[in-house]
Structure 1
Amino acid sequence: MATDWLGSVVSINCGLTLGVYQGEVSSVDHASQTISLRQPYHNGVKCPVSEVTFSAMDIKELKFLDIQNTVNKPSSGQGAAKQPSIISAGRHGQSNRTTHPPVTSSSSHSGAAPITILRRVSSNSRGVIPATAKKNNVRNGGTGGPMRSKDDECFGDGTDEDLDTDFDFEGNLALFDKAAVFSRIDGTSRHSSRAQHHSTQAEQKPMSYRHDENILEGKPVIYRQITVPQQGGREYCTDSGLVVPSVPYELHKRLLATAEHWGLSLERRLEMIGVCSSQMALTLLGGPNRLTPKNVHQRPTVVLLCGPHLQGAQGISCGRHLANHEVEVILFLPNFVKMQESVTSEVSLYSRTSGKQVSSVKDLPASPVDLLINCLDCHENQLLREQSWYQSAADWANQNRAPVLSIDPPVSEQHQTVEAKWTLSLGLPLPLAETESRVYLCDIGIPKLVFQEVGIRYLSPFGCKFVIPLHRA
């Protein structure tokens, strides 16, 4: 009968929205398919109302926490005790067995979930302890009797404390002597580990590392990874400390000839130099901060001063790539001198871009430009400096006061006609004169075995870049 479960303490799970309720069963209605709890708790907090009623449709799961002990009394007219099946299951220790109370579903509510979904999951196999015995045991301190039930601690009767009162965290924390507890823990830990770790106490403390340091032990770094048969008289080093020696011009010329023999033709080398030098120039001009679609009214202007030789062809290749990147390029190249075939080929390609070409210094801008690229000098012919067109172009460059990038300057003990702020060397640096210019090195794609063929033991210092800065060692 439904009255057999009155007074039992149950836990009703109504899902994530309504939560979990606990309380004493006060009534069970077959007709309306409802169950009521008195003195309910909602998610562990006492409810402000004295009774809550639940519909069977809202109940996801029901567990019995404590069954009232009046069901142990014998029924009238029978000599033996008549008990619900759930009580006998609990007393026999069958904790996983699901039983149903003798409550039936009403025929008028066939669409709703019946109350018979109620079930009890026993937490132990010691049987049911009467609620009054548990409460008395708790009130008396629990010495010598059964252990205090966790459920009784949470949901036992007589909890009349004012839950609205704020908890005194500072006062409770003052009762905890943290220093004494940690001192006792440290003493116990040292005593227990002294015998086990006596042999390791003399070992050195492991070294600590910063987040940017390599903690993996490997082979020592060899900073001199490039050795040359003939020293150029000057050494440089990269940002990571790798040593890059300079080479004499004759060895550098033989290296380029060997590379050309194996397929690195002059045209391919000019294209590589043009790409790398233009990339460096774009960075010097401001990179993405300057060259954006929203900044078309401030396009940078670059002037190229080129001679009718190989170095001039390298500068023209650089100018072509700059023009392709929407840079205002002005090429100065005299037209009354004989030009090399490579220069003629590069001029033909350059003429298909938006870049301008002038042959007179008078046609160059009078106001300062953003960058000036100097390719006037030649490795083979130093007498070009004495010609009038060369001197006119050098004078204009010195008066314009624009920053200068010099590509592949020749080896010379004389004072530079056009002082460069940056100098770009190719493959391996030449022994350049002592100046304030910052030296950079460009990877022009020479294979490792080509270096080996001319007697140079070579391991690339470029890493993930094609242009790297060099510092005087």
Structure 2
Amino acid sequence: MSGKYLGSYVTVDCGELFGCYQGQVSNVDTLNQTLTLKDVWKNGLKSSIDDVTLLAKDILSLAIIPSPKDDKIGNRAEVEHLESQRNKNKTSARDSPRKFDGYGSSSSQPAPPDTPNKINKMKGRVGKDDVCFGTDVNMEKDFDFETNLALFDKKTVMGEIQSGKQQGPPLGPGARTVSNFRHDENVLETLPPTYRQIHLPSPSTKEFLTDTGLVVPSASPELRKAMQDSMEKLGISVERRSESIARAVAEVALHFVGGPHRLTPKNSHQKPVVVALCGNHPEAAGAVCAARHLATLGVQTVVYLQTLTVSHYLKKEIELYKLTGQSVINNEKHLPSVSVDLIVASLLPPTWGGGDEISKMKGIIEWANKQRAPTMAIDQPPSAVINATPWLDVKCTLSADLPLAYGDRDGKLYLYSLSTPRKIFQSLGIEYDSPFGSKFVITLHESC
């Protein structure tokens, strides 16, 4: 029965991989399921091969066409018919550059013969065209956005993503499911976080929270005094603690005075001015040390001493500070008359329990409160404990390791690390895991 098709002219579409063929049927092998064409044209170009044998499994569509005229295979109508079979655009504006020029046209003029070089070039161009224009896309039909959007169940998909279910096709037997993790989740399994990592031997009067949610309880003045005595006993002297205090104070102070915007070569005509108000206690030694750190960075500093009689550790810090060439005064009349950028106050120790010291500070307190500069307190007693009028208008407070029970009148609270060894906390019955993380100074917030 297949013999009746011998000699017929057909057009065969073998898909994008093999292309389109036109030619005369020379053999039909029903046993091997093959079709042989002669006088073959492929993709609009005359083939250099006399006979082409196609497998039935590679043929997508086959159509019988009329016999060619003037010994040329096909015409423009046949080309358009082939393109319509593959759902391609028929309009000339959207035609592929592959125009099937080899088919001939309605004109009676015969096509000029192709030289071997021209054939090779055209073959190379056809390959490039297939890559760029070979996709079957019906440009005449508008895309229905509403219908396709209705097919997408956003709620179900988002539920699967948030629940960590595997996206994609079902997994085969024995396959291991993979959970989807957010950017802030760990791939490795970890223990649930513990936010209360500090335990004091006695209940605290107040608790604070870090930015990460860790609980930091407040310490009593007696516990802070015991910590200082334990550090002195184990060799962590005032000089060592002063350097840690100074590092933290200088870091926060540079932020208040403008940091890189003020300390630049182009801005050397208006260097920031910092005044340190110091009493006679270990924390005041840290304030003097901080003034030395700031002076070495180009900040103009002034150290005011509340009393001329100072301890030996404070005297050493003052001697080191004088090496920077900055001034030390003990008379409030000599305080800067120019604009001040920051006031660092360490007039009273954190263990202060009362006395007549505040009455002697009335003049310096009035001067500080008249300045437009913010006041940063270093481990001073809470304003509620001092309970004196007048007292400093504090913008922020820095406290070491364990804060005192500071309130709203003490401004923003910062906690800095003295790098206190764990053994010191253990000797006082304190369970202490560092809340600082990768920083030496952190912000504390009052717990609700």
Please give the TM-score of this superposition, normalised by the length of structure 1.
0.58
> 2: CA distance between counterparts of 1:368 and 1:45?
88
**Number of residue pairs aligned between Structure 1 and Structure 2:** 318
Whichever of the two has the greater Rg, that structure is 1
The alignment status of 1:444 with 2:418, answered yes or no, reads yes
Assess if the C-alpha contact under 8 Å between 1:230 and 1:248 holds in 2: no
Could you tell me which residue of structure 2 aligns to residue 316 of structure 1? Answer: 288
The alignment status of 1:383 with 2:327, answered yes or no, reads no
> 1: CA distance between counterparts of 2:205 and 2:340?
36
Task: Give the direction of change, closer, same or farther, for the CA distance of 1:287–1:457 in structure 2 (3 Å limit).
Answer: same
Assess if the C-alpha contact under 8 Å between 1:333 and 1:359 holds in 2: yes
What is the alpha-carbon root mean square deviation over aligned residues? 4.2
| DSSP-derived class of the 1:66 partner | coil
Give the letter aligned to residue 468 of structure 1: I
Assess if the C-alpha contact under 8 Å between 2:245 and 2:286 holds in 1: yes
| DSSP-derived class of the 1:382 partner | coil
> 1: CA distance between counterparts of 2:266 and 2:419?
35
The alignment status of 1:461 with 2:405, answered yes or no, reads no
> 2: CA distance between counterparts of 1:262 and 1:237?
30
> 2: CA distance between counterparts of 1:229 and 1:327?
42
> 2: CA distance between counterparts of 1:225 and 1:161?
88
Assess if the C-alpha contact under 8 Å between 1:239 and 1:470 holds in 2: yes
After superposition, the C-alpha distances for 1:283-341 in whole angstroms (9 at most, x for unaligned) are 11111122222211121001111113223212111111110110010111145x42111
1:372 to 343, 366, 383: 343
Could you tell me which residue of structure 2 aligns to residue 9 of structure 1? Answer: none
Could you tell me which residue of structure 2 aligns to residue 189 of structure 1? Answer: none
Give the letter aligned to residue 374 of structure 1: A
After superposition, the C-alpha distances for 1:216-254 in whole angstroms (9 at most, x for unaligned) are 764222111111112331110001110000111222222
| DSSP-derived class of the 1:451 partner | helix
Could you tell me which residue of structure 1 aligns to residue 271 of structure 2? Answer: 299
1:353 to 314, 324, 331: 324
The alignment status of 1:399 with 2:399, answered yes or no, reads no
Task: Give the direction of change, closer, same or farther, for the CA distance of 1:181–1:223 in structure 2 (3 Å limit).
Answer: closer
| DSSP-derived class of the 2:343 partner | strand
Could you tell me which residue of structure 2 aligns to residue 158 of structure 1? Answer: 102
2:215 to 227, 230, 243: 243
After superposition, the C-alpha distances for 1:179-204 in whole angstroms (9 at most, x for unaligned) are 89979x99xxxxxxxx979xxxxxxx
1:172, CA displacement in angstroms? Answer: 4.3
| DSSP-derived class of the 1:244 partner | strand
Could you tell me which residue of structure 1 aligns to residue 398 of structure 2? Answer: 424
Assess if the C-alpha contact under 8 Å between 2:414 and 2:444 holds in 1: yes
| DSSP-derived class of the 1:419 partner | coil
Assess if the C-alpha contact under 8 Å between 1:135 and 1:156 holds in 2: no
2:48 to 51, 56, 66: 66
After superposition, the C-alpha distances for 1:377-401 in whole angstroms (9 at most, x for unaligned) are 133463252453x222112112223
> 2: CA distance between counterparts of 1:45 and 1:404?
87
| DSSP-derived class of the 1:329 partner | strand
1:415, CA displacement in angstroms? Answer: 2.4
Assess if the C-alpha contact under 8 Å between 1:398 and 1:418 holds in 2: yes
1:271, CA displacement in angstroms? Answer: 0.9
**Structure 1, 444-453 or 429-438: larger mean CA deviation:** 429-438
Assess if the C-alpha contact under 8 Å between 1:385 and 1:391 holds in 2: no
> 2: CA distance between counterparts of 1:208 and 1:216?
13
The alignment status of 1:275 with 2:247, answered yes or no, reads yes
1:261, CA displacement in angstroms? Answer: 3.0
Assess if the C-alpha contact under 8 Å between 2:44 and 2:100 holds in 1: no
Could you tell me which residue of structure 1 aligns to residue 118 of structure 2? Answer: none
> 2: CA distance between counterparts of 1:333 and 1:263?
27
> 1: CA distance between counterparts of 2:427 and 2:210?
24
Could you tell me which residue of structure 2 aligns to residue 221 of structure 1? Answer: 193
1:274, CA displacement in angstroms? Answer: 0.8
Could you tell me which residue of structure 2 aligns to residue 60 of structure 1? Answer: none
Assess if the C-alpha contact under 8 Å between 1:367 and 1:400 holds in 2: no
List aligned pairs for 1:70-89, cutoff 5 A.
Answer: none
The alignment status of 1:173 with 2:139, answered yes or no, reads yes
Please give the TM-score of this superposition, normalised by the length of structure 2.
0.61
Could you tell me which residue of structure 2 aligns to residue 50 of structure 1? Answer: none
Assess if the C-alpha contact under 8 Å between 1:226 and 1:457 holds in 2: yes
| DSSP-derived class of the 1:425 partner | strand
After superposition, the C-alpha distances for 1:319-378 in whole angstroms (9 at most, x for unaligned) are 11110110010111145x421111100000000013211121111123441100111113
Task: Give the direction of change, closer, same or farther, for the CA distance of 1:67–1:433 in structure 2 (3 Å limit).
Answer: closer
1:438, CA displacement in angstroms? Answer: 1.0
Give the letter aligned to residue 408 of structure 1: D
Task: Give the direction of change, closer, same or farther, for the CA distance of 1:284–1:65 in structure 2 (3 Å limit).
Answer: farther
The alignment status of 1:258 with 2:240, answered yes or no, reads no
1:429, CA displacement in angstroms? Answer: 0.5
Give the letter aligned to residue 280 of structure 2: P
Task: Give the direction of change, closer, same or farther, for the CA distance of 1:393–1:345 in structure 2 (3 Å limit).
Answer: same
Could you tell me which residue of structure 2 aligns to residue 287 of structure 1? Answer: 259
Task: Give the direction of change, closer, same or farther, for the CA distance of 1:137–1:45 in structure 2 (3 Å limit).
Answer: closer
For structure 1, the residue ranges without an aligned partner over 5 or more in a row are 1-43, 47-63, 70-89, 92-131, 143-152, 187-194, 198-205
Task: Give the direction of change, closer, same or farther, for the CA distance of 1:435–1:207 in structure 2 (3 Å limit).
Answer: farther
Assess if the C-alpha contact under 8 Å between 2:44 and 2:101 holds in 1: no
| DSSP-derived class of the 1:395 partner | helix
> 1: CA distance between counterparts of 2:170 and 2:285?
76
Give the letter aligned to residue 173 of structure 1: M
| DSSP-derived class of the 2:432 partner | coil
Task: Give the direction of change, closer, same or farther, for the CA distance of 1:155–1:366 in structure 2 (3 Å limit).
Answer: closer
**Structure 1, 301-310 or 212-221: larger mean CA deviation:** 212-221
Task: Give the direction of change, closer, same or farther, for the CA distance of 1:216–1:344 in structure 2 (3 Å limit).
Answer: same
Give the letter aligned to residue 225 of structure 1: Q
After superposition, the C-alpha distances for 1:143-197 in whole angstroms (9 at most, x for unaligned) are xxxxxxxxxx9696535689xxxx9x9x9422477789979x99xxxxxxxx979
Could you tell me which residue of structure 2 aligns to residue 55 of structure 1? Answer: none
> 1: CA distance between counterparts of 2:316 and 2:197?
38
